[in-house]
Amino acid sequence: MTGNQLRAALEKLDINQLAFARLMKCDGRTVRHWIFGDRDVPAWIEMFVRLLVSKKLKPEDIERVH
């Protein structure tokens, strides 16, 4: 997953980068590094994001399970 693909997925999920970082329990800078291509998006993040998009889940759906 490229940074642009991650950005587009987050837009579909209606979640901003900082909220996604909190949800993933990581630093906001880490998400920015993924988005801007400074670091590869980890495979588990890619799989998780693709699952969220395919199931049309919203952040509040995930937070209830957390």
Say if CB 41 and CB 6 are below 8 A apart.
yes
Q: Are 52 and 15 in contact (CB under 8 A)?
A: no
The amino acid present at 23, given as its one-letter code, is L
For every one of its 66 residues, what pLDDT tens digit does the chain have, with 9 covering 90 and above? 999 999 999 999 999 999 999 989 999 999 999 999 999 999 999 999 999 999 988 777 776 554
Find out whether 59 and 23 touch, Cβ atoms under 8 Å: yes
CATH number of the domain enclosing 28: 1.10.260
For position 56, what pLDDT does the model report?
Answer: 86
Q: Distance (Å, rounded) from C-alpha 54 to C-alpha 33?
A: 24
Q: What is the DSSP letter of 66?
A: -
Q: Residue 32: give the domain boundaries.
A: 3-65
Number of domains within the chain: 1
